[in-house]
Amino acid sequence: MKKSIQEINEKIRTGKAVVLTAEELSSMGKDHTPAEVVRKVDVVTTATFGPMCSSGMFINTGHANPPIRMEKATLNGVPVFTGIAAVDLYIGATENHPEDPAYGGAHIIEELIAGKDVELEAHAKGTDCYPLKDIKTSINRENINEMLMFNPRNAYQNYPVAVNTSNRIKYTYMGSLLPRLGNANYSTSGELSPLLNDPDMRTIGMGTRIFLGGTSGYISWHGTQFKSDAEVNEHGVPVSNAATLAVIGDASRMSPEFIKAAYYEKYGVSMFVGIGIPIPVLDEDMALRVMIRNEQISTRILDYGDPDHPELGRTNYRELMSGEIELHKKKIKTASLSSIFQARKIADILKKQVEEGSFLLTEPLEVFPRGKSLNSLDIR
Amino acid sequence: MAATKKRMVLSFPADSVNEPITYILIKEYDVMINILNADISHGREGKLLIEISGQKESVNGAMDYLKGKKVEISPVVKTILFNQSACIHCGACSSLCFPGALSIDQDSRELRFFPDKCVACELCIKACPLRLFELNFGVN
């Protein structure tokens, strides 16, 4: 049996679409064949809520009178990028306050989304058309023109587990890693994760409408550091970090519940981004993909105690989510950096929206590149 | 005789006693001492967070000895404060929490905090990306 996205959208419009979250579908998959799944289910909602450093937000502050062409600017003391037009600014999520490493761009973004006032200070050399040289004022969601979230790399398709075999604690973007394999941290929502439910990206592509930070947004391109030639396991999912998404959305309609500033000790600021993607069950192949279960998704365990991050072993998300894995004959406590609790909440919201007919599916305008590998930076 | 366990903050005056207090507590009073946190600088008032356990009479004797040495004893009510309502349940703290005071519920995937198990090691304070833990070195 085959269904088109148009047919599924017609069902959504008339309130007849059957929608399940990826977790619900994974457990249904235990006693259903792909043929049965494609007959019974139209849409599967996937989600993730993890720290995603490659995130940020463009804002346009509106022009002052007299106008200024901002060349150096800060928001609550956090530097923002001004190398575009006069009052367009880009707030990079990981930019930090020069005196407070635990406060940065992500906090500014969260505060603006929450409707709070943020202090803007900017300086310029002054030009004939933009004579003002200095400005100090406050901005908020209501008094600026746009808040456009644009994240160059989100929603990693799988990610390795981080451990530390060295003799001292390592503070990393994978959290605090205790010495001598004291703990293991991972960061994926497993069977709920968008790109693990459509590993070949048949339905997720450029222009796909998604849930982003509490409102609807779009996939604008493949993400940076996109890799589609990664090793896959016997269930067809990459065993390491592979595909990524660049996403875009109207942050003035987002909610601070789904965009959260984070600080990782001695690493820096990052931002939790809530993303949900509905996947149409078009045929048996798609059904088989969305039936994937945590135990079928494997990932590598890397040693962050060694600068080369060598692989120490492999595990799967069922083991990781049990709270304990075994490595080198040692039981190691595991923790997720990405919140499964929040991801479930997003998958449930999206499920309701599709059921109610308020969230229609999109066909990718363009599919993502196949066989794309990564370059590394040679020091010449 | 009943066994007992107490968690307390000992505050030492600046002109601290010259006796090896923990040694005497163990040797003379036969109590078990678990030092959970220490904040001692020479010439200033020092604080020690300990868990003391043993037979009730031994523990009482140890307490009398400390009082005699002008050590201020304050029972600890909470050692780590957790702003639970702001938690996003990522669980970054849970893999570091060796006594198991912080753990992710297998079904709901929510973070659970069991203050009774907490030994105030402080690892969660730095591990939480939202900075929701605070050390309360204070008392009731």
For residue B91, which residues of chain A lie inside 8 Å, CB to CB? 335-337, 339-340
Asked if B86 and B126 sit in the same domain, the reply is yes
CA B61 – CA B29 distance, rounded (Å): 7
E strand intervals along chain B:
3-12, 32-39, 46-55, 72-75, 80-82, 102-104, 111-113, 133-135
pTM for the whole thing? 0.88
Domain count, chain B: 2
On whether residue B24 sits in a domain, the answer given is: yes
The mean pLDDT of chain A is 97
Asked if B96 and B122 sit in the same domain, the reply is yes
Residue B34: per-residue pLDDT: 87
Query: Is 80 exceeded by the pLDDT of residue B36?
Result: no
On whether residue B140 sits in a domain, the answer given is: no
| Helix or strand run (H / E) with residue A296 | none
A175 touches chain B (CB under 8 A): yes
Asked if B104 and B124 sit in the same domain, the reply is yes
pLDDT level of residue B1 (50, 70, 90 thresholds) = low
- Residues listed for chain B: 140
pLDDT level of residue B78 (50, 70, 90 thresholds) = low
For residue B97, which residues of chain A lie inside 8 Å, CB to CB? 333
- How many Cβ atoms from other residues are within 10 Å of residue B54's Cβ? 22
- DSSP for A250-293, please give it: EGGG--TTTEEEEEETTTEEEEEEEEEEEEE--SHHHHHHHT--
Query: Is 80 exceeded by the pLDDT of residue A43?
Result: yes
Nearest CA-CA distance, residue B108 and chain A, Å: 7
A183 contacts B109? CB cut-off 8 A: no
A102 contacts B89? CB cut-off 8 A: no
CA A79 – CA A57 distance, rounded (Å): 13
Nearest CA-CA distance, residue A264 and chain B, Å: 5
B132: CB partners within 8 A, 6+ apart: B82, B83, B84, B86, B87
Query: Contact, A120 vs A89, CB < 8 A?
Result: no
Q: Tell me if residue B103 falls in helix, strand or coil.
A: strand
- Hunting for tokens 């005497």 — which residue is that? B24
End-to-end, the C-alpha distance of chain B in Å comes to 28
DSSP-assigned letter for residue A238: B
Q: Which residues, listed in sequence order, are joined to residue A147 by a DSSP beta bridge?
A: A59
A172 touches chain B (CB under 8 A): no
Active site residues of A: 129
Least CB–CB distance from B91: residue in A102, A176, A335: A335
A315 touches chain B (CB under 8 A): no
Q: Which residues, listed in sequence order, are joined to residue A133 by a DSSP beta bridge?
A: none
When scoring A183, A263, A294 by the number of chain B Cβ atoms within 10 A, the one with the most, hence best to mutate, is A183
On whether residue B89 sits in a domain, the answer given is: yes
A178 contacts B94? CB cut-off 8 A: no
Q: Of the ranges A150-159, A213-222, B9-18, B107-116, which one carries the lowest mean pLDDT score? A: B9-18
Structure tokens at B113: 């905090």
End-to-end, the C-alpha distance of chain A in Å comes to 55
Phi, psi of A196, rounded to the nearest 5 degrees: -85, -15
pLDDT level of residue B119 (50, 70, 90 thresholds) = confident
Query: Contact, A264 vs B96, CB < 8 A?
Result: no
**Residue ending a domain, choose from B60, B75, B90:** B75
The CATH number linked to B116 is 3.30.70.20
A341 contacts B129? CB cut-off 8 A: no
B94 contacts A260? CB cut-off 8 A: no
B109 contacts A344? CB cut-off 8 A: yes
CA A14 – CA A196 distance, rounded (Å): 29
On whether residue B94 sits in a domain, the answer given is: yes
Domain residues for the domain of B68 are: 3-75
Nearest residue to A328 via CA among A342, A339, A350, A313: A313
Report pLDDT digits (tens) over B79-94. 788 999 999 999 999 9
- Residues listed for chain A: 380
- How many Cβ atoms from other residues are within 10 Å of residue B100's Cβ? 13
Q: Predicted ipTM?
A: 0.92
- Name residue B96's amino acid: L
Residue B16: per-residue pLDDT: 61
On whether residue B48 sits in a domain, the answer given is: yes
A333 touches chain B (CB under 8 A): yes
The CATH number linked to B65 is 3.30.70.260
